[in-house]
């Protein structure tokens, strides 16, 4: 990194390295989703159907990224990040105090919008501080830490639901956000070089979509997350309501996926240096297809068996741990001057894909579970097919990311 290595490792006023803040910021997502999943059946029993709260959360997160990216390009990452963390905490507290589904849905919508600000700023700061060719390595490191927190989130959520009730899960989210707000207030300095520019760059959105690299890598990230979201949305019903697992036992399933994800992101960093980004992603794509194929075989031959679903999910998570850091970093690689916008549109594509696939899959789930686990498995298989096509037919035609300064020479 040359002369910038010191500032990259410690951009904060209080000496907190960015590499430590990054996984904590990214983990705002599994804290808001993975710890919430074991609470869904309990919320449904007390307040009514809770699926709308998760759906609205995803929609708010997706659409919220569109204004947050340009705003962070205009006024800087730091004020948008701090505002997002404060609203995240208030929204989580409002969810904990909700006396009905309308209030819960409204507060989850605010929490989703706030999370958009947090993740957009965290991902854009990676491009601010590191050159394009280092982006996948840095994101993989940050997502390894995210996976560690994601490992604990569903387990803590499940035991909190059983021991204290679902409201304390939401209260815990508020505590997490407040602690992170205090850390960033002291330790996160502005990373955007031209944060005070009075106007957005002309034609910025058109420039983002004109980038071949953005279109390819954003498609990769959106596809892999779309398949994973179908698991997040439907797995509580499949494992708890259909297969009869307790919420506490179910909590270990996404936790196990997070453990595989930690291994995969660590493995990804090694593979990137040995094989390069395209060959690494091609391997990940084959894993992303192999996992759902195992699950499909289980649904066909042993529809009430848990282990084929678990094994297939673990294999898919290995591919997901490769695609996420490469896709998220690749989408902004050649757009350093528009990092906020590129991150926001890439994130919106992820959420739009997830919402569309999730809504289609949910239509095939009924109270009798007449379709078994197929509604969860088939969208993941479709995502695996698309990932193989992207990795083998699209990505090899892109130019390699430049090796040089963090701004790509801009």
Within a domain: 408: no
pTM of the predicted structure, to 2 decimals: 0.81
Tokens of 29: 């997502």
**Phi and psi of 355, rounded to 5°?**
-65, -45
Beta-carbon contacts of 220 under 8 Å, excluding residues fewer than 6 positions away, are 281, 323, 326, 327, 330, 387, 390, 391, 395
CB-CB neighbours of 409 under 10 Å: 9
Radius of gyration of the chain (CA): 20
In a domain, 171, yes or no: yes
Binned average pLDDT, 10 residues per bin, the chain of 410 residues: 41 67 91 84 82 83 92 92 97 93 93 95 91 87 85 83 88 95 90 59 78 96 94 89 86 83 92 93 98 97 95 96 94 87 92 88 90 96 98 90 47
Asked if residue 202 belongs to a domain, the reply is no
Determine, yes or no, domain membership for 404.
no
For residue 288, is it within any domain? yes
CATH of the domain at 80: 1.20.1250.20
| Spatial separation of the C-alpha atoms in residues 94 and 315, rounded to whole Å | 37
Q: Is 204 buried (19+), middle (13-18) or exposed (0-12) by CB count in 10 A?
A: middle
Asked if residues 28 and 118 have their Cβ atoms less than 8 Å apart, the reply is: yes
Backbone φ and ψ for 367, nearest 5 degrees, come out as -65, -30
pLDDT number for residue 165: 87
What does the DSSP assignment read for 249-269? Answer: HHHHHHHHHHHHHHHHHHHHH
Is 199 contained in some domain? no
Other CB atoms closer than 10 Å to residue 264's CB: what's the count? 26
CA atoms of 386 and 384, how far apart (whole Å): 5
The contacts of residue 380 (CB under 8 Å, 6+ apart) are 227, 228, 230, 231, 291, 292, 295, 312, 316
Look up tokens 């270990």; give the residue: 252
Q: Let me know if residue 8 belongs to a domain.
A: no
> What residue numbers bound the domain in which 41 lies?
15-189+207-397
Inter-residue contact 375 to 241 (CB < 8 Å): no
CB atoms within 10 A of CB 277: 25
Judge whether 319 and 387 are in contact, CB under 8 Å: yes
State how many domains the chain has: 1
| CB distance 19 to 187 below 8 Å | no
Residue 3: strand, helix, or coil:
helix
Query: Does 403 map to a domain?
Result: no
pLDDT in tens, 230-288: 998 899 889 988 999 987 788 788 778 888 989 999 999 999 999 999 999 999 999 99
Q: What number of residues does the chain have? A: 410
Dump the DSSP string for 102-151.
HHHHHHHHHHHHHHHHHHHHHHHHHHHHS-GGGHHHHHHHHHHHHHHHHH
Residue in this structure with the two tokens 């990224």, named with its chain if needed: 65
Instruction: Identify the pLDDT of residue 145.
Output: 84
Spatial distance between the Cα atoms of 129 and 365, rounded to a whole number of angstroms: 45
Give the model's pLDDT for residue 335. 87
């Amino acid at each position: 990194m040359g002369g910038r290595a010191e500032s990259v490792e410690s951009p904060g006023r209080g000496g907190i390295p960015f590499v430590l803040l990054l996984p904590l910021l990214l983990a705002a997502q599994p804290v808001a989703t993975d710890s919430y999943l074991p609470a869904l059946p309990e919320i449904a029993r007390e307040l009514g159907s809770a699926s709308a709260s998760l759906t609205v959360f995803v929609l708010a997160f997706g659409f919220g990224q569109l204004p947050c990216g340009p705003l962070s390009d205009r006024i800087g990452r730091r004020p948008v990040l701090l505002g997002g963390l404060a609203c995240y905490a208030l929204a989580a507290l409002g969810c904990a105090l909700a006396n009905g589904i309308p209030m819960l849905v409204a507060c989850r919508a605010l929490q989703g919008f706030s999370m958009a600000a947090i993740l957009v700023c965290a991902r854009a700061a990676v491009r601010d501080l590191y050159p394009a060719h280092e982006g996948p390595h840095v994101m993989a490191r940050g997502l390894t830490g995210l996976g560690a927190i994601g490992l604990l989130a569903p387990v803590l959520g499940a035991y909190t639901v059983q021991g204290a009730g679902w409201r304390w899960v939401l209260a815990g989210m508020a505590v997490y956000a407040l602690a992170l707000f205090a850390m960033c207030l002291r330790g996160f300095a502005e990373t955007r070089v031209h944060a005070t520019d009075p106007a957005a760059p002309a034609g910025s959105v058109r420039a983002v979509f004109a980038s071949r690299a953005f279109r390819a890598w954003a498609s990769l990230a959106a596809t892999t997350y779309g398949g994973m979201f179908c698991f997040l949305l439907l797995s509580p019903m499949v494992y708890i309501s259909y297969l009869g697992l307790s919420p506490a036992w179910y909590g270990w399933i996404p936790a196990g996926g997070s453990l595989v994800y930690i291994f995969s992101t660590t493995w990804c960093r090694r593979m990137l240096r040995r094989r390069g980004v395209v060959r690494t992603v091609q391997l990940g794509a084959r894993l992303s297809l192999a996992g759902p194929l195992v699950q499909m075989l289980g649904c066909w031959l042993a529809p009430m068996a848990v282990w084929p679903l678990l094994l297939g999910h673990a294999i898919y998570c290995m591919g997901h741990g490769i695609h996420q850091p490469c896709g998220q970093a690749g989408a902004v690689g050649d757009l350093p001057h528009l990092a906020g916008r590129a991150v926001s549109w890439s994130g919106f594509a992820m959420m739009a894909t997830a919402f569309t696939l999730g809504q289609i899959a949910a239509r095939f789930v009924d109270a009798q579970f007449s379709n078994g686990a197929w509604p969860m498995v088939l969208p993941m298989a479709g995502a695996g097919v698309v990932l193989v096509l992207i990795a083998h037919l699209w990505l090899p035609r892109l130019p390699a990311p430049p090796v040089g300064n963090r701004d790509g020479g801009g």
